[in-house]
Chain A
Amino acid sequence: MGGFDHGPAEDRTFQPAHISARNARYGLVLFLIYLAFYAGFVLINTFRPQWMDVVPAAGVNLAIWYGFALIVVALLLALVYGHLCRGRAGDDEVPASLSQGGSPSGPTTEAKP
C-alpha cells in the first residue's frame, strides 16, 4: 500500500501558472455564489427570523430546508469546481471568459436536498 510510505518525496512540478489562474477564477465565482447564499441565510435569521417558520414543503420549515440546502449546495459547488478544474485537452489554452465558471453552477443554488 503506497500510501503508508512516508519517505521524502521527490521535488514535484506543479501545474502551469495559467491553469492555476484559471482555477482561481472559477473558485472566485463559485465562492461569490455561495457567499450570497450563505449571507441570505444569516441575514434572514438576523433581521427576519419569523420567515424561517414558513413551511414550504413536506411539513418541514424553511430553517431546516435552507440549512440542509447550504450543506448540499456546498457539496454541489465543490463537485462543479472539481469538474471545471479537471485536466482536459484544452489545458494549453487560456480559457476565454469567466462565463464558463458561472453558468453551470447558477441553477444549483436553487437546489433542495
Chain B
Amino acid sequence: MSHSTSPLSVGVFAVFVLITLGLSVYLGRRTRGAKGYFAAGGQIPWFVNGVAFAGDYLSAASFLGICGMIAFYGYDGFLYSIGYLAGWVVALFVVAEPLRRLGKYTFADALDARFQSRGIKLAAAISTLAVSIFYLIPQMVGAGVLIQPLLGLPHWAGVVIVGAVVVIIVVTAGMASTTWVQFLKGSLLLIFSTVLTILILNRGFRVNDDPAALEPQTVVQTAGGERLINGSATGQLRPVGDVVKLPGDVKETGPVGPLEFFSVISQSEIVLWGNSTTTDDQGTKTITYQPEVTPGEEVLRPGKSPTFRGIRGDALYPKIDFLSLMLALFCGTASLPHILIRYYTVKDETAARKSTVVGIATIGFFYVLTLYMGLGAMTSGAIDVSDTNMAAPLLARTFGEALFAIISAIAFTTVLGTVAGLIVASSGAVVHDLISAVSAKPFTDHEKVRLGKIAAAGVGVVAIILGILFQDFNVSFLVGWAFSVAASANLPALVMLLFWKRTTWQGITAAILVGMASSLAWILLSGDSFSKIYGLPAENALVPFSQPGIVTIPLGFVVLIVVSLLTQPKR
C-alpha cells in the first residue's frame, strides 16, 4: 500500500522542527555550567517535569507500536500499555525520592554516593550505554520507517534528519532544551490522542458489506525483481480494517460512549488479517494476507497475537515467557537511565515526587487512549495490511488530511524527544562516570560541559549509523531487550542500596555486570534472536524461552547479596 506524500505534513513537521530548534538556541544562551547543562540547573518546575516524563517515556514504540499491535491483534497490545505504566509505581514508591537525594548528574552518582568507587561508576556507565543504545536503535529505525510514507524521503534521510536535529537540541542546552522539547512533545501527544479518541467515539461503527473486503491479498516478488500486488504490476494493497456485522444487524451505530464502545465491539464481527510467506524453487516469494472474520469478544481478550498466543495453550514455557516479559516491564521503567536522570532536573524530593505523580497521570491517561486508538484503527477501514506501524497515522487520515499531517508530525517529534533524552543520558554517563573513572585529574565545570557536547555528538553519530545498519531488521523487540537488560543490571543494585545496609561496592559492581551479561547472553541465545536476527529455526535456541527477566533479575539480587556478604568491611 503506498501512501501519497502530504505537503501539509511536511509543513507541520518543518514548523515543529523550527520551534524545537529555536527553543534550544534560546535556552542555550541561558544555560550555564555542568549543573545547567546536564541537569537543567535542577530548576525545572515539577509539573513541567511530569509532562516531560511522558515526553521522554512515550516513544515511537508506545505510540505507533502499541496502537499498531492493538489494530492488528486486539487486546494484546494493551498488555504492553499496562506493563509500561505499572513500572512507574516502582519509580514513584521506591526510587524517586532517594535518587533525587543521592545523585547529581547520572544514575551512577546515586549508586556510588556512599562508596566513591570507580568500579561502580564504570559498571553503571557501561550498563547505561548498553541500555541506551538498545533503546536508541528502534527509535532511529522508526524515524526512517516513518519518513518514507510521510515525507517521501528514503530511509537514511529520516535517520540523518532525526540524528542531526537531536544533536543540535542536545548540544545547545543539554538537559534544559531536552526537557522543554519533551514537555512540548508530551503535551501535543496527549492533546491530539484525546482529539482522535473523541472523534472515534463520535463516529461510532459502520458495517462494510462489500464482499471484496473478504478477499485475500497477495504480494509476489520474483527472483528477477518483478513485483506483483494482487496480481498486477501496478496494483496496490487494499486498505483493511472492516466491521462485517454489528449488534442488532444495524448498518451503523452513530456516536458511542466510552464503555459502549467496547460492548458494541464484543457483539460485532471484525475482519482480522493473518499473513504467510512462501518461497518456491525459482526464488519467487509470495506473501499472502488472509482475512479472518473474528467475533468481537475474541478481539477484546488477551492471547490473540503471535507474541502472546502461548498463554492460551497448555505448554509451560510460553507462559513463563509471558510472566518474564511482564516482570521486566514492571521492573524496567525505574531502571532506565534516561528516565532516572530526569529526577535531577527538579529542586528536591518533594518536586521529584510530585512530578512522578503528574507523570503517572499523563502516561496512564495516554495508555488508556491507546486501546481506543488501536481498536478505532482496527475498525476504520483504512489500515495498511503490510505495515502495523502506520495504523495510528492512517486512522487519523480518515478524519481528514489536517489531522493526518499533525499526527504524523507528532509521531516524528515523538522520536526526537525520546532520542534527545537517551543522548543526554549516554553523554552524561560517558563524561561523569566513564571518563572521570579512568582519568587521574578532576575536570573543571567548563571542561565537563565541553566533553558532554562532544560525547553527545559522538553518540548521535553512532545512533545514525546504527539506525541505517538496522534498517531491514524488525527492531521493535529491541525496546523489550532494553527493559530486560535495565531491570536485570540496574534494579537489584538500586533497590538493595536503599534497603540493605550491608551492601558493598563490590556487590553492586558485580550485580550490575552479572545482570547485564546474563540478560544479554540469554537474549542472544533465545528463540527470538534465532528467528529474527540469525534467520535460524527458533527450536534450535539454547534457552527454553526468550524473555530473560524472570531468571536474570533474581540472579542480580543473588549475586549482590553473595558478593556483599563475602566482602564485608572488617570491623
| Chain A residues with a Cβ under 8 A of chain B | 2-9, 12, 14-15, 20, 23-24, 26-28, 30-31, 34-35, 38, 41-43, 45-47, 49, 52-53, 55, 58-61, 63-64, 67-68, 70-72, 74-75, 77-79, 81-82, 85, 87, 113
Contact = CB atoms under 8 A, between A and B. Distances in A.
B42 A9 contact: yes
A79 B347 CA distance: 20
Chain A, interface SS category: helix
Contacts of B44: 3
A78 B347 CA distance: 20
A110 B96 CA distance: 26
A9 B35 contact: yes
A6 B31 contact: yes
A34 to B, nearest CB: 5
Nearest to B96: A27
Contacts of B81: 67, 71
Contact of B92 (A3, A6, A9, A81): A81
Chain B, interface SS category: helix
Contacts of A20: 97-98, 101, 349
A45 B266 contact: no
A87 B92 CA distance: 17
Nearest to B325: A42
B36 A28 contact: no
A31 B302 contact: no
A46 B322 contact: yes
B492 to A, nearest CB: 16
B93 to A, nearest CB: 4
Interface string B92-121: 111001101100000000000000000000
Contacts, number: 180
Contact of A24 (B98, B259, B311): B98
Nearest to A68: B368
A67 B354 contact: no
A27 B98 CA distance: 11
A59 B263 CA distance: 5
A6 B30 contact: yes
Contact of A64 (B97, B356, B371): B371
Contacts of A67: 75, 78-79, 81-82, 371
Contacts of A53: 297, 301
Interface in B300-338: 300-303, 311-312, 319, 322-323, 326-327, 330
A11 to B, nearest CB: 10
A64 B348 contact: no
B194 to A, nearest CB: 15
